[in-house]
Amino acid sequence: MRLLVICGLPLLVAVPVLVLPAFRGRRVPVALLAAAALAHLGLVASLWVAPPPPELGGWLAADPLGMIVLTLTSVLFVVTVTYTVGYLRHEKPRSGRVFAGCLLAFLSAASVVALAHHLALLWVGMEATTLSVAPLVFLRRDRRSLEATWKYLVISSVGIALALLGTFFLASAQEGVPGRPLVLPDLVAHARELHPAWLRAAFLFLLVGFGTKMGLAPMHTWKPDAYGEAPSLVSGLMAGALTGCAFLGVARVTEVVMAAGLGSFAQPVLVGFGLVSLAVAAVFIIGQSDVKRLLAYSSVEHMGLLVLGLGLGGVGAYGSMLHLVNNGLAKGWMFLVTGNIVLATGSSTAARARGLVRTLPASAALLVLGLFAVTGSPPFGLFMSEFTILRAAIDAGHPWVAVVMLLMLAIIFVGMAALVLGIALGEPPSASLPVRESPWLVAGPAALAATVLMLGVFIPGPLQEVLARAAVALGGSAP
């Protein structure tokens, strides 16, 4: 029952928000948002305490992979809502009901994706996340955001369509195989009896489809536009939670393929996508002048690392599970801080925002810290995960992968450092006056930063265990 509630509750709240005339205009029902978010988080926490049985005939279940994504989403959502409180003091969206309604719808859809064990249901949830976020990208209602929305919609929809085709291929692979159709545990259980040719085709199409939503190069093209034009807190949710859901889709099918013993077929593809994404990210991060687009490409980079770890197998799978968490939190952190910069200076470009240590000390500090966190410097969590993935590359006997990875990480660091430090340090433009940073706007990112820092030196027991089990499910192992 709880799983169903987790998926349905936000939507139930969303319905009145969207229809009741009380919420017409710019007023945002923050209280409802907060209530729904906290309830959701509470329910998710209860799942950790008391693992639930599968529901809807096994269509909904909470396995380690799903729990990781679900928790990540829920936490990020709560943080985003707290941030919203401060955000709404400076800016009001055109339509408060669309804002709140879509956020809640997104939470529902993401929960469905995280808990779905029926791949068609997973697909439905995935498409729903795309659609629920689109209006949020278009929140500013100007030409640029319109263009971004259009590209985001078309590319993601095409990608997701390909994923649907892949799902059907998977169904064909299951022809005449015992077990409920397209239900994950049964697929895994009888993986070796699946038709290998269809399974391969299914894997590739699902990879491209969900890869498009993750933003793997070369299907990443919508990402900088969408992240750059959406309000920062929405970008944060997309980069932190939405990509997590998309990665979950890839991970699910990988789970099946690994179980079917087709690892030697799947892993090179994953590694290839990983390296290409790293390279593309590096190319676009050099000389980038807009922090939000920079973070978008950094997200491309980290998606690449995720599939790279998955493809390397061994401890790499563990690494990319850990990286999923770390990257999600770090991206949320960075986008929310960037949001503060945009609120204060009206822009996220190096041209307009300079010398923030003077005008926005707290945000600037968080931004610079974030630079080191995102680039995988010790002692932040991303260091742990990236180091694990690097080790996986060497253990798996691909030293050249390690070399390329390190080279790209180095180039990316130069690009990011140049921009972030460029806007954090220096003499602020004369016009800019110091802004008082409301605690609502700083608390969220600070909390995320603290968590990322903690994960670098201490991984709580339950999380550790869940990560390990997820890694094993993906054909890997815990270090």
Partner 1 sequence: MRNAAQLVLLLVVLSDLAILGTTRLSSCIRGVAAQGLLLGLLPVLVAPQVSVHAVALGMGTVLVKAIVLPWFLARAIREAAVRREIEPMVGFIASQLLGALALALAFAIAARLPLPALQQPLLVPASLATVMIGFIVLTTRRKAITQVVGYLILENGIYLFGLTQTESVPFLMELGVLLDVFVGVFVMGIVVFHINREFDSLDSTRLRELTD
Partner 2 sequence: MTLFAVSLLLLVMAGAAAAALRRHPALGERLFRLLFAAGSVTGAVPALAVLGGAAVPDVRLATRAPFGAWVFGLDSLSAVFVLAILIVGAACAFYGLAYLDHERGHRAVGAAHLLLALLVTALALAVTARAAVPFLIAWEVMAVLAYLLVVFEHERPEVRRAGLIYLVATHTGTLLLFALFAAWAGVGSDFSFAALTAHAPFSEGRGAIILALALVAFGLKAGVVPLHVWLPEAHAAAPAHVSALMSGVVIKMGIYGLMRALVMFGAPPPWWGWTVLALGACSGVLGVVWALAQHDIKRLLAFHSVENIGIVLLGIGAGALGLAYGHPLIAVLGFAGAALHTLNHALFKSLLFLGAGSVIHATGTRDIDRLGGLARRMPTTAAAFLVGAAAIVGLPPLNGFVSEWVVYQALLRGGSAHDAMPRAVLAAVALAFMGALALACFAKVVGVIYLGTPRDPVADGAREPPRGMIHPPVGLAIACIVIGLLPIAVVPPALRVGSLVAGGLPGGAGSPVASVGATVFTLALAVGLLVAWAVRRAFGRRARPALAPTWGCAYAMATPRMAYTASSFAAPLIGTFRSFAGFRADRTVQAFATHAFDPVLERVFLPAWHAIESAATRLRSVQRGTLSLYLVYVGAAVIGLLFYLLIAGRGL
Burial class (CB in 10 A: 0-12, 13-18, 19+), 53: exposed
For residue 38, which of 101, 82, 103, 100 has the smallest C-alpha distance? 82
Among 81, 164, 191, 207, interactor with partner 2 by CB under 8 A: 207
Is residue 147 helix, strand or coil? helix
Asked if 204 touches partner 2 (CB under 8 A), the answer is: yes
**Contact 313/435 with Cβ under 8 angstroms?**
no
The listed partner (partner 1, partner 2, none) that binds 138, CB under 5 to 8 Å by sort, is partner 1
**Minimal distance in Å, beta carbon 13 to partner 1?**
19
For residue 219, which of 154, 313, 282 has the smallest C-alpha distance? 154
Which CB sits closer to partner 1, 23 or 123? Answer: 123
Alpha carbon dihedral 316, 375, 134, 348, in 10-degree steps, equals 180
Which CB sits closer to partner 1, 153 or 423? Answer: 153
Q: What residues between 302 and 361 interact with partner 2 by CB under 8 A?
A: 318, 355, 357
**Contact 356/338 with Cβ under 8 angstroms?**
no
**Minimal distance in Å, beta carbon 15 to partner 1?**
15
The listed partner (partner 2, partner 1, none) that binds 124, CB under 5 to 8 Å by sort, is partner 1
**Minimal distance in Å, beta carbon 310 to partner 1?**
26
Which CB sits closer to partner 2, 121 or 305? Answer: 305
Q: What residues between 432 and 461 interact with partner 2 by CB under 8 A?
A: 456-461
Interacting residues toward partner 1 by CB under 8 A: 118, 120-121, 123-124, 127-128, 130-131, 134-135, 138, 141, 143-144, 146-151, 153-154, 157-158, 161, 164-165, 168, 171-172, 174-175, 181-182, 195, 197-198, 224-225, 228-229, 284, 288, 293
Per the structure block, which two tokens stand in for 127? 């498409």
Which CB sits closer to partner 2, 86 or 428? Answer: 428
The listed partner (partner 2, partner 1, none) that binds 185, CB under 5 to 8 Å by sort, is none
Asked if 126 touches partner 2 (CB under 8 A), the answer is: no
Among 124, 286, 443, 472, interactor with partner 2 by CB under 8 A: 286
Task: Count CA atoms within 13 Å of residue 272 on its CB side.
Answer: 10
Asked if 157 touches partner 2 (CB under 8 A), the answer is: no
Asked if 289 touches partner 2 (CB under 8 A), the answer is: no
Which CB sits closer to partner 1, 153 or 329? Answer: 153
Which CB sits closer to partner 1, 99 or 138? Answer: 138
The listed partner (partner 1, partner 2, none) that binds 268, CB under 5 to 8 Å by sort, is partner 2
Which CB sits closer to partner 2, 16 or 355? Answer: 355
**CA dihedral (92, 214, 321, 387) positive or negative:** negative
- Residue 168 CA to residue 86 CA, distance in Å, equals 45
The listed partner (partner 2, partner 1, none) that binds 427, CB under 5 to 8 Å by sort, is partner 2
DSSP for 367-414, written as a single string = HHHHHHHHTT-TTSHHHHHHHHHHHHHHHTT-HHHHHHHHHHHHHHHH
**How many CB atoms sit inside 10 A of residue 436's CB?**
7
**Minimal distance in Å, beta carbon 424 to partner 2?**
9
Helices (H), 139-216: 143-173, 184-189, 196-214
For residue 294, which of 146, 420, 411 has the smallest C-alpha distance? 420
**Minimal distance in Å, beta carbon 171 to partner 1?**
4
The listed partner (partner 2, partner 1, none) that binds 387, CB under 5 to 8 Å by sort, is partner 2
CB under 8 A, 24+ apart: contacts of 423-428: 423/291, 423/341, 423/350, 423/353, 423/354, 423/356, 423/367, 424/356, 424/357, 424/364, 424/367, 424/368, 425/355, 425/357, 426/354, 426/355, 427/354, 427/355, 427/358, 428/354, 428/355, 428/356, 428/358, 428/359
Q: What residues between 63 and 92 interact with partner 2 by CB under 8 A?
A: none
Q: How many residues bind partner 2 (CB under 8 A)?
A: 73
The listed partner (partner 2, partner 1, none) that binds 131, CB under 5 to 8 Å by sort, is partner 1
CA gyration radius for the chain? 21
Which CB sits closer to partner 1, 130 or 340? Answer: 130
Contact letters for partner 2, residues 387-416 (x by CB under 8 A) = xx-xx-xxx---x--x---x--xxx-xx--
